[in-house]
Structures are given as structure tokens and as C-alpha cells.
Structure 1
Amino acid sequence: MAGAGVRDLLIEGPWQHHDIAANGIRFHLAAGRSLAPDRPLVLLLHGFGEFWWAWRHQIPALDEAGFAVAALDLRGYGASDKTPRGYDPLTTAGDIAGVIRSLGHGTAVLVGHDWGGIAAWSTVAYAPAQVRGLVSVAAPHPLAYPWRHGLRDLAFFQIPLLPERRIMAEDGAFIENLHRSRTAPASLFPNAAEARRYRDALMLWPSPHCALEYQRSFVRNQVRSAGRSYRRALHATFAGPVLSVHGQLDPIVPLAAMAAAGPYIDGPHTVIDLPRVGHLPHEEAPELFTAALLQWLEQRS
């Protein structure tokens, strides 16, 4: 599938592909076949170097369980618009809140992994009325994030042009190697076909630049007024329920960092530690992760 285009990312399966307008751009999402406004919405947000397909195991399970489920391609990823700007937390929160409204819902449970989890926390900070609950997957609260564990990558990503070239080099091997370095030692993810999907999706220009802009914007804003405003917003406590999902063998996010979200949550906070998985529990152990997610959701439906 090397040299893939956008159409190649619209993978067929037990879901439907939709394009919707929100916050001034076009977003792509893959939704359960029973997507409807009368079902409680669960919006799935992928992490760095992934796209909607990261949630291929969860979409049909949540659909069958009676939820309106949609897996979003974040701005700049997959089949969504790839704009030159708009990768700061405030805009990202506006994107997600806009998608919820465009789907005909007033609220949603956000399930966010990695940088998709940061996007979910940003939405809690800036648009809390539209977040019914939050599932944070390997994504601690931004004010409690152990940035030192990923500081080397974060620093490298700030360099102009070179990281984009690295991502595109060697037929996109960078993202496969990154995923492998973050999984449990005995993990079967990613297999060759899965790795090929992620290589091709991230090589679809300008996706490498857009993906990196989330992290560059985050760092740049630390010394700007936008960063101070973001930190103030993050200090507000969230009244809804939160599920924090950690992989016991995650090499970059310790369990203590996931539990440290407690001071920013007024509602019930559940922390689960999944055995024998690393930084991508929804892909390394999809059945175990999906069962835990469904149990938590059904207790709050």
C-alpha cells in the first residue's frame, strides 16, 4: 500500500465513513453503523502518529453495546483537513466541541489516547459542559504529565524540517519503530500489516508536519500568554467521571502520573492498570481494554 492516498485510509469494516464540518474545517470520522442522536455519544481520539483506524477494535463493540460511537481523524491527520495552523489546545478543544455538536449531540464521553488524551483534557478545560465523561488512555492530566520521560523526542520534534524528513525517510519506518519502542516487550502489535497502515497514513503529506505541530505549539506556548491561559483553564476541576487506563509495561508513562489527575477531578476517578501491555493498550490488548471500557461506560449509562 506504499504511496497511499486519502481514499486508502477509508478502510472498509463494520463502520461507516463520514465527513462533517466543524470549527471551520472538514473532519473525517468512522462511526458505528447505528450512529444516532438518541444514543449516548462516545468520541474516540487517536494519539500521535495514528489515525481513526487505531480504534478499529472498539468501534463495533461500542456500537453493539448501544452507544453512538465515532473515531475521529484529528485535524491534520488521516482524511481530515490538513490546515497550516490550528494545532494549539484552544483550537483543538474547539474542534472536538464542534464535532460533538455537528453529530447532533450536546455532550460526549471522550476517549483519548496519548496526544488524543491531551486533546480530551484540553476540551475538558475549555468546553467542560460538552464532556459527559473522560477516558484517558496513557495520557495523564497535562499539569501532571511526566514530560521528562519523553523529553528527548519532544526536543527533537521542535527542530524545523528535520523531524518531517525523518518521518518520511526509509519508507516511513520512523512511526513503526516508535510504536514498537513503546509497546510491551512481548507485544504482537504492530504486525506487518498494521505497521504498513501507520507508515502510509503518516507519510501522506503534510500529515508529518501537522502531527508535529501539536507538540511544537504546546512547547511554544509555554512562554506565551496562550500557555498561561491554558494552564489556568487546566486548573479548573472536572465534575464528571474519569477513567484513567494505564499499561503496566508502559515505558514512558508511569502509573503514578495517571493517578495524579485526582486533584483536577471532582467526580469519581477510576484508575486501572492493565497487565502485560505498554503505551498502546487499546491495540496491544484490545479485548481486555474494550471490556474494561464497556464496563465503565455501562456503569454510567
Structure 2
Amino acid sequence: MASNNAPDPSSVRYDGSWAHRDVHANGIRLHVASAAPADPEAPLVVLLHGFADFWWSWRHQLTALAELGYHAVAVDLRGYGDSDKPPRGYDGWTLAGDIAGLIRALGYSDATLVGHADGGLVCWATAVLHPRLVRSIAVVSSPHPAALKSSVLRDNAQRRTWLPDFLRAQPPRLPEHRLTRRDGHGAAEVLHRRGSDSWAATADFADTVGRMRSAIRIPGAAHCALEYKRWAFRSQWRPDGRRFMAVMRRPIDIPVVSMRGEFDRYILPATVHRGPQLSPRRRVVTIRDAAHFAHQENPDAVTAEIAKLLAVHGEPRRPGA
């Protein structure tokens, strides 16, 4: 919801050991923060943030992966941060097309995808819908979409923790107000409710809260963030949603590491372990001393698991190969 003191989209372009770029892909402009070693042919790793967030959530992995010799790119997903905010395109098909287009626009024939929560769901969708472009995926607090749906339908505990927030996102206008009220306090509540108490006591948490509150107040960002959840819910009763879920049940034969913080109260252990037949080469890892935002709460542990995935399964094809 726009206001006279709403932040400019470019305000998310924070300085650091990365470069900011605009990349045109799938008919829109995506803002990315890119960190790469001197090698111009460094393999590509694309980092996708979660709900009400933006590229900054991957700051730790962005620099660490570049130091390990990878070209790391953290993207503001469609509708977020300094990326375009079109009125449509928040369905699984289009979001996967955005990332497929981004990989190609960056000059690569494939990439490893890393995603948190909603960003992880985009990783899963891209791997299924564009299999030649995805070499492996790492996800944080992001079960396979079919496994998540099954858990919500069959597991009372997961339904109680996940469904109320999902349903609160469905009405018009009011959810946007909740996210942006009091200078973005609603978005900060997501961090407080789902993060760990130990992280909440740190200066890093306070800094992250401030940046997240500012980013969600960028005109259009809150509405677009909620459109992800609205399509996921409403499409269940439409042909496009049924087709999407049917396609998503195709197994993916690529390496997957699925991470979950040991104190995550939002995504439960049984949900993460559900559906092994959907990704038979998946490895499930518990991240200690972390809750829902494990990549920020215990970044070294998450980076180590990503690095292990990249190292064990070899070098991706080089640009132009």
C-alpha cells in the first residue's frame, strides 16, 4: 500500500561485496545481487528468498559461495524489492519461467537453485518444469509442494501451524494492511513468530527486521507477496492449479538437500520427510540452533550443506556449454 513516505524500490540495493544488476527474463526485469570470483566461468548458484522478504536474506551465503568459487546470485523474486511488480504472474508456472529465464539471461545452461520457504517452492517448480536447467537444489523450510499439500490435508499438527496464516492471506486489502502497518511491523512479526529466540536477541536480527520492514513497504511489494499465497490457495479449485499439482508429482532425479531448523514451529519434521518418492536423491538435514530462518540464524551450517551438495555432485556445465 503506497504512502507518501514509502521507500523507493532502489533502497534495497545495499552496498557490500556484491554487484547489483537488472536482468530481463520472462518478460520482466529482475533485480539481482551478484557475487562472483575472478573466474568468468564460475558455476552458477541462484538464491531465492521467502515470503515478505527480499534478496538480503541470502547475504551470508552470497559472499561465502563466491569465496568457494561459485557465481552466487540472490534475486528479488517477481513483485519484491527492486524487481518489477506486474499485476499477474504469481502462479507456479510463471514463477518457474522467471528463474529459467534468469539462468539463460545470465549466460548459463544450468544452475543449482537454493530457496527458502516460498522461494524453495519455486526451486521445486523450476526443477520439475525446466529439468535441463536445474542441476541440483537446496531448500530451507520448504517441503515439496505435493508433500506440503498432503501434510496439510492429513496431519492435524501441520494444518494447525500452517493453515491459519495461509487463510489470513486470502481476503483483499486487509492482509496488505497487516503487513505494512506501523512502518512494516506486520512483516517484522513474521520474523519474530517463526525465528528462534536466540537469533531474536542479536544485533543481526534487529538489523534484518529494519531492512525487512522497509522492503515490504515498497509500493506494491506487500500485495505481490500475498498474490503468491492467493494463487496457491485459489488454484486448488481451478484447472490450472490441478494441472500444476499433477505435473509437480513427477519425480525429479537430481540431488536435493532439504534443510529444516530444529526449532522450526511452522514446518514440522514429518512434513519435510514426506514424499521421498518425489525426489529419490534427496537428503534431509536438521540445522541446529535455528528455527524457520535457518540460513540467517545459523548461516555457516546452511552454507556448509550447500557447499557439500555442490562439491559431491561435481561441477555444473560452464556458461555457453
Which TM-score band applies after superposition, normalised by the shorter structure? over 0.9
Name the amino acid aligned to 2:23. I
Cα distance, 1:55 vs structure 2: 0.4
Check 1:35–1:48 CA distance in 2 against 1; reply closer, same or farther (3 A cut).
farther
Cα distance, 1:192 vs structure 2: 2.2
- Alignment-derived partner of residue 40 in structure 1: 43
CA distance in 2, matches of 1:39, 1:186: 36
Name the amino acid aligned to 2:173. L
CA distance in 1, matches of 2:10, 2:120: 26
Aligned to 2:296, the other structure's residue is in SS state helix
2:228 to 193, 214, 220: 214
Superposed counterparts of 1:33-112, under 5 Å:
33-34=36-37, 38-112=41-115
CA distance in 2, matches of 1:224, 1:4: 36
Name the amino acid aligned to 1:162. L
- Alignment-derived partner of residue 298 in structure 1: 311
CA distance in 2, matches of 1:27, 1:8: 15
1:185 aligns with 2:197: yes
- Alignment-derived partner of residue 26 in structure 1: 29
Unmatched runs of 5 consecutive residues or more in structure 2: 153-158, 315-321
Higher relative contact order (CA 8 A, sep 6+): 2
Check 1:137–1:157 CA distance in 2 against 1; reply closer, same or farther (3 A cut).
same
- 180-189 or 236-245: which moved more? 180-189
CA distance in 1, matches of 2:38, 2:55: 16
1:229 aligns with 2:232: no
1:113 aligns with 2:116: yes
Deviations 1:146-165 (A, max 9, x none): 44121111111001110011
Name the amino acid aligned to 1:299. V
Aligned to 1:213, the other structure's residue is in SS state helix
Cα distance, 1:93 vs structure 2: 0.7
Aligned to 2:197, the other structure's residue is in SS state coil
Deviations 1:215-247 (A, max 9, x none): 001111101110111111111110110000011
Check 1:36–1:227 CA distance in 2 against 1; reply closer, same or farther (3 A cut).
farther
- 137-146 or 188-197: which moved more? 188-197
Cα distance, 1:3 vs structure 2: 4.0
CA distance in 1, matches of 2:236, 2:38: 39
Name the amino acid aligned to 1:68. H
Aligned to 2:89, the other structure's residue is in SS state coil
Check 1:158–1:113 CA distance in 2 against 1; reply closer, same or farther (3 A cut).
same
CA distance in 1, matches of 2:8, 2:308: 37
Deviations 1:181-208 (A, max 9, x none): 1012322366322111000001101000
Check 1:7–1:294 CA distance in 2 against 1; reply closer, same or farther (3 A cut).
same
Unmatched runs of 5 consecutive residues or more in structure 1: none
Superposed counterparts of 1:10-21, under 5 Å:
10-21=13-24
Alpha carbons 2:199, 2:205 under 8 Å: kept? no
Superposed counterparts of 1:138-287, under 5 Å:
138-145=141-148, 146-147=151-152, 148=159, 149-188=161-200, 191-266=205-280, 268-287=281-300
Name the amino acid aligned to 1:178. V
CA distance in 1, matches of 2:40, 2:173: 43
Alpha carbons 1:37, 1:103 under 8 Å: kept? no
- 205-214 or 187-196: which moved more? 187-196
CA distance in 2, matches of 1:240, 1:35: 28
Check 1:209–1:221 CA distance in 2 against 1; reply closer, same or farther (3 A cut).
same
Alpha carbons 1:43, 1:69 under 8 Å: kept? yes
Cα distance, 1:36 vs structure 2: 6.5
Name the amino acid aligned to 1:205. P
Name the amino acid aligned to 2:266. I
Cα distance, 1:295 vs structure 2: 2.2
